[in-house]
Amino acid sequence: MRIFGSCIFLLFTAVSLAGQAQEGQTRSVVKADSRIEFHATSTFGKTVGVFRSWDADLKMPTDNFADASLVLEIDAASVQTGNGLKDKEAKGKNFFSVKEYPKIRFVSKSVVPDADPSKLHMNAELTLRGITKPVSVAIILYPRENGLQHMEGDFSFDRRDFGMTHNVLFDKIANTVQVQFRLDVRNASTPASADTAPR
């Protein structure tokens, strides 16, 4: 019984220390210097939409981004294209349908290191208009500066997979939509700057 009790104590201690190590390695995203956007092309041009309201949950139990997990929750109605008519169309039933589906979610599932230490491959799931599909994300990490690490992600999806089949007469919209996100990640020990709304 003493041996069994000792084992339980050691296991409990190891779990507690692991939890403390994870808490010491938490990260936060500086929204003021971060950005989430999409790029859509059509016959007559290109539309860039920026989401102004979102939350990021980045967990890193170690200092290695390959061990990280990332969840992005985006307010679909916060999309801005710089054009009022396009904004209205993007929020409508033909595209994001923000009244019925107010949230867009991105959830990482695994991270695979690359031969180049500045690059990673992230397997994730994108939930849009109530439909969840896998996406493959290319990640680039930039050198730390002043306690911040710059992280960029890039992936594409077929809008038809999420029920967005609408097209405009004489202005065909491409089916492939490109998504890019840029996150500035701060160490827990780094003093906070003003985390205002993303630009």
Backbone phi, then psi, for 13, in 5-degree steps? -65, -40
- pLDDT number for residue 25: 55
User: Which residue ranges form the domains of the chain, and what is each CATH number?
Assistant: 28-187 (2.40.128.110)
- Give the model's pLDDT for residue 189: 47
Task: Give 5-43 pLDDT, tens digit per residue.
Answer: 433 333 333 333 333 334 435 578 999 889 999 999 998
Sorting pLDDT into bands at 50, 70 and 90, what band is 168? confident
Reply yes or no on whether the pLDDT at 187 is more than 80.
Answer: no
Q: What secondary structure, in 3-state letters, does 69-130 show?
A: EEEEEEEHHHEECCCHHHHHHHHCCCCCCCCCCCEEEEEEEEEEECCCCCEEEEEEEEEECC
Q: Which of 13-17, 50-54, 168-172, 189-193 has the highest mean pLDDT?
A: 50-54
> pLDDT above 90 covers what percent of the chain?
65
